[in-house]
Structure 1
Amino acid sequence: MGHLKQQNMSYVAHFSFAMKLALQMVLLAIVSVVHAFFPFILPDTVSHSIKEMDGKLQELANAN
């Protein structure tokens, strides 16, 4: 479990964080498909959300 030690996270905290990101990515994939067909619907949602997710991952990386 070197990855958990490296991230300074418990199994439950890591699982929760990873599952939240996974769910967000699934939802963003659906939004992307909708946006592909209808570009006027949710035009900035995916790019904005990906930047937010990247920010959270960078914070986590910098904290360790």
Structure 2
Amino acid sequence: MREAWIPLECPSCSEQWERNPADLPAPANEFTCEHCGDERPIAEFIRTPEGLEIHEEFHSRDRR
């Protein structure tokens, strides 16, 4: 299986980076920007609809 990377962007400081979905919290949880410390729901950091889909799919498999 290919490893996925999800593009992130902080809504506060506009810093951009990528993370593996395994390193991100579940969709309902908060996430803290590693650059400025802003805390919001993880969905607000995910830059693309595809990234959001990958993230949700990855974490839905964990609940099975």
Please give the TM-score of this superposition, normalised by the length of structure 2. Answer: 0.32
Which protein has the bigger helix share?
A: 1
Which protein has the bigger strand share?
A: 2
Q: Please tell me whether Structure 1 or Structure 2 has the larger radius of gyration of its CA atoms.
A: 1
Please give the TM-score of this superposition, normalised by the length of structure 1. Answer: 0.32
